[in-house]
């Protein structure tokens, strides 16, 4: 799937912007603070409901206004007949999503409609950063390929919030300990399918990741991913009672700390390079290569599971990579689907065999113009 046009109103610094977009590679070039990231952030918000920068919807509204609006027309196989129009309006704290101009879409059903892989500079630290970032990356890809996973995750998050509130009440002596029993049951009901799915997924994904990683490093490193669950597996129904006892055993600790210590919200993924922890022993470049391989692996798994190319967003990532890695990333991403790349200038754009791209110049006032024929890059008019 690809985005063929987008309209932004009162979204961050874009008061009223409409862009016709190329189905392949689009470059957004402009000075710092001009609003390049804001444009690709809007694409992510429209297709997933979340800002990849972690911003709340309120922060996306143009300062001084009370709402924002984004709409996008998505094409499939260049056929007009199968176009999908999505609109998202967020006004006075209320979000409304529409498909085809009328049908309401619930936020939870939005994710996965238009597959997306985004790559922001923060993602380069997926290996050495907190487990939180790794779980978020895993959730985002699994939510897109498995609606049941998304539903279990939503219910699990609600249950966790309730259980943590109950732990505080128990610590204050306002409820008795057995009031936690139903929350433990719910935690396993929604949590175990999450663990099972993560386990299955990572078993398949590690092969894809390892192959890509080996390609980027010219076969000099072997790599793999390993699921590090917080609740010891297996996670099938037959182990329900054992895991319930596990939760009971850690309950006293939970009450003292005031939060649930065991569950999929504490899971992690380990990256291994040549059988050693990449986080502990990997060089900066090796860790970044793993991050790139993880993202390219997301593209591949979405392609396999959804039978369609995801839209890729690349925010200022090329300048953070050496030329070889930047080239390899671009080559992979531009092979098939649609890709958006933001950059302040063309310095970090590969020097030889430059891929064809539609270029948009973003001015310091946030105005966006398709570039005039640019001699340094093969330019394809976006419309």
Binding segment for ligand ATP (CB under 6 A), chosen from 33-41, 168-176, 229-237, 295-303, is 33-41
Tokens read off for 106: 């619930």
Q: For ligand ATP, give the closer residue by CB, 212 or 359.
A: 359
String marking each residue 52-81 x if it binds ligand ATP according to CB under 6 A: -------x-xxx------------------
Q: For Mg ion, give the closer residue by CB, 37 or 338.
A: 37
Q: For ligand ATP, give the closer residue by CB, 263 or 366.
A: 366
Q: For Mg ion, give the closer residue by CB, 212 or 329.
A: 329
Binding test (CB under 6 A) with ligand ATP, winner from 35, 75, 191, 337: 35
Q: How far is CA 363 from CA 14, 355, 358, in A?
A: 11, 23, 16
String marking each residue 300-339 x if it binds ligand ATP according to CB under 6 A: ----------------x-----------------------
Query: Which one of ligand ATP, Mg ion, none interacts with residue 123, CB within 5 to 8 A by kind?
Result: none
CB of 115 to ligand ATP, least distance (A): 23
Residues at the site binding Mg ion, with contacts judged by CB under 5 A:
37
The three-state DSSP-derived secondary structure of the chain is: CEEEEEEEEEECCEEEEEEECCCCEEEEECCCCCCHHHHHHHHHHHHHCCCCCCCCHHHHECCCCCEEEEEEEEEECCEEEEEEEEEEEEECCEEEEEECCCEECCHHHHCCCCCEEEECHHHHHCCCCCHHHHHHHHHHHHHHHCHHHHHHHHHHHHHHHHHHHHHHHHHCCCCCHHHHHHHHHHHHHHHHHHHHHHHHHHHHHHHHHHHHHHHHCCCCCCEEEEEECCCCCCCCHHHHHHHHHHHHHHHHHHHHHCCCCCCHHHCEEEEEECCEEHHHHCCHHHHHHHHHHHHHHHHHHHHHHHCCCCEEEEECCHHHCCHHHHHHHHHHHHCCCCEEEEECCCCCCCCCCCCCEEEEEECCCCCEEECCCCCCCCECCCC
For residue 211, the tally of other CB atoms under 10 A from its CB is 14
Binding test (CB under 6 A) with ligand ATP, winner from 5, 7, 9, 13: 13
CB of 369 to ligand ATP, least distance (A): 14
Query: Which one of Mg ion, ligand ATP, none interacts with residue 332, CB within 5 to 8 A by kind?
Result: none
Residue number closest to Mg ion, CB atom: 37
Q: For ligand ATP, give the closer residue by CB, 43 or 145.
A: 43
Q: For Mg ion, give the closer residue by CB, 198 or 295.
A: 295
Query: Which one of ligand ATP, Mg ion, none interacts with residue 159, CB within 5 to 8 A by kind?
Result: none
Query: Which one of Mg ion, ligand ATP, none interacts with residue 344, CB within 5 to 8 A by kind?
Result: ligand ATP
Q: For Mg ion, give the closer residue by CB, 254 or 315.
A: 315
Binding segment for ligand ATP (CB under 6 A), chosen from 35-43, 253-261, 264-272, 319-327, is 35-43
Q: Answer positive or negative: Cα dihedral of 214, 217, 220, 221.
A: negative
The count of residues interacting with ligand ATP (CB under 6 A) is 17
Closest CA to 371 of 30, 24, 33, 39: 30
Q: For ligand ATP, give the closer residue by CB, 4 or 37.
A: 37
Residue 348 as a binder of ligand ATP (CB under 6 A): the answer is no
Q: Applying CB under 6 A, which residues contact ligand ATP?
A: 12-13, 30, 32-38, 59, 61-63, 316, 342, 344
């Amino acid at each position: 799937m690809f985005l063929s046009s987008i309209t932004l109103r009162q979204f961050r610094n874009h008061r009223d912007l409409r862009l016709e977009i190329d189905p392949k590679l689009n470059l957004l070039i402009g000075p710092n603070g001009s609003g390049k990231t804001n444009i690709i952030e809007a694409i992510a918000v429209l297709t997933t409901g979340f800002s990849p920068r972690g911003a709340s919807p309120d922060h996306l509204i143009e300062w001084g206004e009370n709402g924002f609006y984004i709409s996008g027309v998505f094409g499939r196989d260049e056929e007009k007949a199968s176009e999908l129009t999505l609109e998202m309006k967020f006004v006075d704290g209320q979000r409304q999503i529409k498909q085809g101009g009328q049908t309401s879409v619930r936020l939870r059903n939005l994710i996965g409609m238009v597959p997306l892989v985004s790559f922001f500079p923060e993602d380069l630290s997926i290996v050495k950063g907190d487990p939180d970032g790794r779980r978020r990356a895993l959730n985002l890809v699994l939510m897109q390929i498995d609606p049941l996973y998304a539903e279990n995750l939503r219910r699990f998050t609600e249950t966790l919030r309730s259980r943590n509130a109950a732990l505080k009440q128990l610590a204050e002596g306002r409820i008795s300990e057995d009031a936690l029993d139903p929350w433990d049951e719910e935690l396993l009901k929604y949590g175990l399918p999450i663990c099972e799915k993560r386990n299955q997924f990572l078993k398949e994904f590690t092969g894809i990741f390892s192959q890509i990683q080996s390609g980027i490093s010219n076969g000099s490193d072997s790599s793999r991913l390993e699921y590090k669950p917080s609740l010891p597996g297996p996670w099938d129904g037959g182990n329900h009672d054992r895991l319930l006892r596990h939760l009971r055993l850690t309950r006293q600790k939970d009450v003292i700390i005031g939060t649930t210590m065991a569950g999929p919200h504490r899971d992690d993924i380990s990256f291994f390079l040549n059988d050693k922890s990449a986080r502990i022993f990997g060089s900066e470049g090796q860790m970044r290569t793993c991050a790139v391989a993880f993202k390219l692996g997301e593209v591949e798994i979405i392609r396999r599971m959804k039978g369609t190319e995801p839209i890729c967003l690349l925010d200022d990532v090329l300048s953070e990579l050496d030329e070889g890695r930047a080239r390899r990333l671009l080559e992979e991403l531009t092979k098939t689907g649609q890709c958006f790349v933001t950059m302040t200038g063309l310095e970090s754009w590969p020097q030889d065999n430059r891929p064809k791209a539609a270029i948009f110049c973003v001015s310091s006032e946030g105005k966006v113009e398709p570039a005039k024929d640019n001699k340094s890059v093969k330019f394809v008019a976006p419309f």
